[in-house]
Structures are given as C-alpha cells and as structure tokens.
Structure 1
C-alpha cells in the first residue's frame, strides 16, 4: 500500500495545481484545433499583397498547460503561379485561453507563431516582406533588402538565358528571396554566415524528389550582391536560375562538376568572357604547371574550405562543359546532363559523346593547357 500512495500523490498534485503539461481532453483539443484553423484563414499581415494560396496549418500535436497550449504543426502554402505543390514549414504555436469581453465564456487564441525547434525560419519571420513582380519573376525582400526592382529586372533577363541553354520544359519563372543582410540569409538557409560570404546568390531546392515539388528559391546575399558589377550580377543570377531550370533532371547521381559547370556555361554563354577571364584561379595554377589530374569531385565543392581551391573547382567545371559544347555541340551537353541524372556517368558519356571519362578528362586537360597556359 505504501507504493500506491507514492504513485497517487503526484497525480493528485497535478490535478490540483493544473501544472503538469499533458494532452488536453477531447473538448479542449477540439477548441484548440478550431483556434488554429481560424488562425490559418488569415496569413500574416506582413505578407499582404503576396500571391499566397492553400495557406493551412496541419496540426501534429497539442499540449495543454492550464490556460495555455502549445501546438506543433506543419504550415502548407503555395505561391500562386510559381509553386507546383505546397511548400512545408514546421511551426510551433502558442495559444492562450482568453475570456470574451461579453463575459460569455472563453476562447483559445494564438499568441505566438514561430519556427519549430530545428526548423528553418521563413522570410516573414525576419520582419515585414516587400514584393516586386517581374515578367518572369517574383522577388520578395526582407527589411533592409537592396533595390528589388533591379533584381527583378535581372531575373527577367536570366530566365530567357537559362531557357536558351536548357531547351527542355520547365516553369520559366523564378522566385527570388532577398533578406536584409548576410546573417539573415544564413538564418534562412541554416548554415554559418561565413559559408556565403563573397557569394552573390545561392539556390535552395531538393533534387531527385518524386512527384511535383514547390519551386526552388534563389536566395540573394545582399552583401555579396552589392560587390558585383552589372556583368557579375547577370552571371550570378543566370547561374542560379539555370539550377532552377534543370532541377527536374538533376538527381543525386548527377556529378557536381556537371551541375555547376552547366550552370556557369549557361551564364557565360553568349558573352565575350574568355577562359582566362572567367577562370583566373585555374589559370594561375595551370601556368605553375599544376594541371588538375581529374575533373572536380564532390568534395572539391565543399563550403568553408580553401576559397582558391573552390574557385578552381567551379572554373574547371565550367571549362569542361564549355569543351563539351564546343566539341560535341550544345545538344550533346544537354543530353549528357539528362542522362547523367538517371544512369551511370560512364554510360551517359558513351551514349552522348562516344568517349569514356578518361578520354573526356584528357581532352579537358589539353584544353586547359592550350587556353590557360
């Protein structure tokens, strides 16, 4: 009997003090879910004017603590005209039981809505959001973001350029996020700010997903963007938009040198940029007699390493794709990209170019010596 008294006492205290967080009873949980559904009907005021559709919170769990409740939910929404499917965002909501002014009972009301622990924030979590719509673009900016109209104009030039390089079906439009600072950008992407210092923009998105997925987001680094000239901004944004265009054909088997090199090839295509101008770090290495022994592997593109080595990886990838387009034709490069996303690279190379990887590497090395040496 002593054991029973020990077990029952905490339960009695919990009931008396209502201080033990627990699942609410059926009626309370229904009321809490109803309050979340009411909250879902009106997106945040800071998003007024943005073309949102299918805004809804899918409640995963409810925990009541007296007159307060905590809800874990998945926010689903689409940007109309841009997202093929709803995007997801794990959220944590707090609710409070508030008495009606009329005195007729009380209702649950949402008092806080934030990213769930471990989840990435949304742009609007950082403050008010502004928007500019271009012909092929939707640009969303946070507080302190640079001129959105100029970025929209650049995106509108980048989309046709990407389509010309990638003549395959894709949405032909792009969503660009412009946070107010490098630190804000890093928060959105969940990586240290140092990883993006010096970069003009990056693309967020999933590769190899089955079924329709939301549109990728091009995320601009306002500090890196400010350091670029007109030509640099055009190259950077066309590179990132090309990643959006090729996303459906990009899988975990696509070599990074092909993915990054193709995006740079699309960006430099039609410009007067010479190999020496577009690949200065690699040119210095080649002039020292340090011709790469192989095409860049996945590790060569890791963030946070030697910036000169990273530059050589990107530059070498561009020149590999440039070589393929010049020697075998633009259509062969596009075909190689598609095949490399669904079959081994050795097979893709043989079927599209008629060479093996050693043959391609040898031709690439010869081109580096000729054009950069």
Structure 2
C-alpha cells in the first residue's frame, strides 16, 4: 500500500544567474537586494504545496529559483519545481515554472504560478486534483467523476499482475495514472496538439533505460478511453502498464516493432482474441494480397499518422512477438527484448533466438498469410 502521509520537505536554492548589467536585473547578491527579497518571497510562499494538492502523496517539494526579472512593482522568477510521488518516484520529477510577484509594501507577494514558456503543464494547473489509491495504482484526476477514477484504479490494479505474468524482469509492480478532464487537457500535459492523441485510449511517458527516475505516468485520453469496451480498456491499460514495466530494459536502440509488439502481446496474452480480431486492418490488407515486405519501421508508429497504417503497424508488431513467443518460447521473447536494448538487432536475434532478421521476417510473413487469410 502507498503511505498516506509523508512530511513534505521544502527548500529553496537561491542561485543568482542574472548579471548586474542585464536589463531588468539588479544586484543578485543575497541580503538586502531586491532580487534577494523576491527570492525570499518565493521561498516563504513555497513552504507548502497548494491546497488542491493536499491529497497527493508528495515529498521533496521544492522551487529552485534560477533567475529574477523585475519591472517596477512586478517581478517574474523562473524556477525549477522538483517533487516526488512518495512510493513511486525513485528520483525527482521536474517542471519549469514562472512565478509572478507584486510589490506588497516593503516586500513581495506571489500572485501567480504557471508553467514557464514552452514548458508542459502539470495536472494541478488544470484544477483541484482528486486522488484514488488502488492496491497497485495511484490515480490522479481533474474534472472527472470520482466513480470513473475508482473504476480506472480497479482496471490498473488488474493490469499490473497481468503484466508481471508476461514480463519476467524486475519492476516496481505499481503504476501512476493521470486522468485529465478533456482531450485538450491531456495534450497540454504532453506538450503536443490535441489531434495527435485523438482516437487513442492512453499513452505512457517516461525516460528509457535504468537508474533512478520519476515513475512513468500513464495519461488517459478521456474521450478515446470512454469509447472503448470493457475488454478494450483492459487491453489499453495492460499495454501501457507493460511499457512501464519494461522501461528500464528499453533504450533508443530498441526497435519500435519489438517495444509496441511486446506491449500488445502482453495485453492480449491469455485472451481468446484471434489474430484477425486483434489486427483487423492488417487482416484486410493481407486478404488483398498486401503482405508487408518488412517488419514495421519505427516511423510507422508515429502519433498523428494515417490511422489505418498505424493500426497495421501495431497489428504486425503484435503478431511478430506472438510468433516469437509461440515458436521460440516466452522467455526467449523477453530475452530478445532485453538484448535488443544494448546490442544491434542482428546480434540480439542470433543470441536470443538463434535466427537472423531475413529468416524471422519470412516466418512472420508466412504466419500472416496463414492466420489472417
């Protein structure tokens, strides 16, 4: 279970980065300078997170001021917000912020706190955050029905053991889910246009590779997710949680067909879904005689691409991993995933499966002809 109470640690590192001669800047030395007064005002204000964050299990909350710009009775402080979700983040999550202040008598008072220009929003920028703690999940939502958040936590709780059964590698065995109120709000959290995610159920954010890092966030699209059946929601959540579980074993060198295919394989594993049911767009293409000439390229999975082409890429990736698990065994598929993150794919295929890319591609094409006809 996640601890429900943790002491919030607040600190301010006053780093004077603005040279004295720069326009709009004053002597950045601490003490009696105006910049020092602005920094102290930010420090005093940031002693506690906003009230709307009260239910979130936060620790290590801090604003590190990096620059101050003053204009008469108004000041702007650039700062880096650092925080952890207790029980989830092994390293601080970061957010570039812009803190606005107004002169208040002899001092300064914070009047606004927002994402810095070019920085993505945090969930709490969108309103009061509701918190639901599942047995294996933490769901944070804004503008959502509490019953929907509870259902989402239950679905995430079911996905976690399903992923652990498919992925033998070590992972935390728990997941953070963000549930914004609209598609546009989701896009604001991810820093991309809303159309990028239209029709998607959810996406996962996080840094690839091992080592301490903020926990991945599964971000749910309220519009796309709502349109899914119960089985569809289960598939989507399990797929995304698989990305969370495999993140430490994923690198920039991991082929997208292996990363996305493994996540779909874990999601469909143990279900009665047939290849034609799980990959209908690819099935239609194969029936037209359009068997892919190669495993899907990385760019085929890009957000915002042709929906039918993207669907064919995902279907092909799933069936490639399904073939590997069926012919060489599930442990061999997991071994291939781990090896492909740190060595060229041909070497990983040889070591994990004892085969090469042309032979794997040929076997995959033959499986498509047999299973999707």
Is the TM-score greater than 0.5?
A: yes
Task: Summarize deviations over 1:247-293 as a string: whole Å, max 9, x none.
Answer: 00100000000000000000000101010110100000010000000
2: CA distance, partners of 1:159 / 1:25: 50
RMSD: 1.2
TM-score where L is the length of structure 2 = 0.91
Matches within 5 A, 1:290-301: 290-301=290-301
Query: Residue 4 of structure 2 aligns with which residue?
Result: none
1: CA distance, partners of 2:66 / 2:25: 15
2: CA distance, partners of 1:40 / 1:349: 52
Structure 1 segments unaligned to the other structure (5+ residues):
1-19, 100-105
The SS at the match of 1:246 is helix
Is 1:24–1:62's contact at 8 Å kept on the other side of the alignment? no
Query: Residue 318 of structure 2 aligns with which residue?
Result: 318
Task: Summarize deviations over 1:293-337 as a string: whole Å, max 9, x none.
Answer: 000001111222211110000000000000000000000000000
1:226 aligns with 2:226: yes
Matches within 5 A, 1:228-243: 228-243=228-243
Query: Residue 197 of structure 1 aligns with which residue?
Result: 198
Is 1:84–1:212's contact at 8 Å kept on the other side of the alignment? yes
2: CA distance, partners of 1:39 / 1:80: 22
Structure 2 segments unaligned to the other structure (5+ residues):
1-22
Matches within 5 A, 1:65-104: 65-99=71-105
Query: Residue 248 of structure 2 aligns with which residue?
Result: 248
2: CA distance, partners of 1:199 / 1:302: 12
Query: Residue 181 of structure 1 aligns with which residue?
Result: 182
TM-score where L is the length of structure 1 = 0.91
Query: Residue 103 of structure 1 aligns with which residue?
Result: none
Q: CA deviation at 1:206?
A: 1.6
Q: CA deviation at 1:67?
A: 2.3
1:345 aligns with 2:345: yes
Query: Residue 23 of structure 1 aligns with which residue?
Result: 26
Is 2:211–2:248's contact at 8 Å kept on the other side of the alignment? no
2: CA distance, partners of 1:94 / 1:38: 14
Q: CA deviation at 1:111?
A: 0.9
Matched positions, count: 347
The SS at the match of 2:87 is coil
